[in-house]
Amino acid sequence: MQTNPAFFVALVVGSLMLVAVCFVYVRHRTFGLGGITLSGLGVILLGMSVWRSIDVSFDEKGMRAKLNQVEVVATEAKDTAVKAQSAVVQTNQVVAGLKTTVEVAVLQEKLKAAGLYAGASDGHFGPTTKAALVNYQAANELPQSGELDERTKRVLQVGSTAGIVR
């Protein structure tokens, strides 16, 4: 959001003038001519600073004013939320992929320990890993699907490997 520096100067100076007038009034219980003038200038400066961000229009229902700054901030917030949501989806996909890779590497290590897999524990569920899994299933009287089903996971003592079905 880019805003003209004059907006902030007018806003700050106008606010300070009004605060000064309120302080003098509370302290002395009188405005005096200087206080009225100072508060008038403060209101004018505040009005000038805010006026640039208000779009005033007239139609058959009367005068309408919409705050441009609010719309700009809301639009930016919506755009940021959409980008954040997209980033979360991408991150979840990456994490799921990494989780599967790690789980396949653990499976490969278990098959190596059983003497059925001689390849690298690279986390890739390729034909060599599948063949080793089929051999493990056959040796342990399990259905020889080449897929890491719940029963095979229990016998192999492998944790959750959701998504490893080849």
Which CATH number belongs to the domain containing residue 141 in this structure? Answer: 1.10.101
Residue 164 in any domain: the answer is: no
The mean of the pLDDT values for the chain is 76
- Whether 81 and 68 map to the same domain: the answer is no
Looking up tokens 């719940």, which residue turns up?
150
Q: Say whether both 61 and 91 belong to one domain.
A: no
What range defines the domain where residue 56 resides?
Answer: 5-73
Contact between 164 and 153 (Cβ < 8 Å): no
Beta bridge partners of 62: 59
Q: What confidence score (pLDDT) does residue 162 get?
A: 47
Domain identity same for 112 and 152: yes
Q: Both tokens of residue 16?
A: 């300070």
Q: Are residues 67 and 95 in the same domain?
A: no
pLDDT, tens digit, 9 for 90 and up, residues 77-87: 899 999 999 99
Are 127 and 80 members of one domain? yes
Q: Do residues 32 and 56 both lie within one domain?
A: yes
Clarify whether residues 93 and 108 are in a common domain. yes
**Which ranges in the chain belong to alpha helices (H)?**
5-28, 32-51, 68-113, 127-139, 150-156
| Residue 24 placed within a domain | yes
Rounded CA gap, 123 and 100, in Å? Answer: 8
In a domain, 161, yes or no: no
- Tell me the whole-structure pTM to 2 decimals: 0.48
d(CA 55, CA 1) in angstroms, rounded, equals 17
* Burial status of residue 103 (CB atoms within 10 A of its CB: 0-12, 13-18, 19 or more): buried
State phi, psi for 160 to the nearest 5 degrees: -60, 125
* Residue at which a domain ends, from 13, 44, 73: 73
Judge whether 17 and 38 are in contact, CB under 8 Å. Answer: yes
Whether the pLDDT of residue 135 is over 90: the answer is yes
Number of structural domains (the chain) is 2
Instruction: Output 28 or 127, whichever has higher pLDDT.
Output: 127
Among 39, 73, 107, where does a domain finish? 73
Quick one: pLDDT at residue 166?
A: 45
Residue identified by tokens 């980008």 is 83
Question: How, if at all, do strands 54-59 and 62-67 pair?
Answer: antiparallel
- Give the tokens for residue 156: 């192999």
C-alpha of 153 from chain center: 35
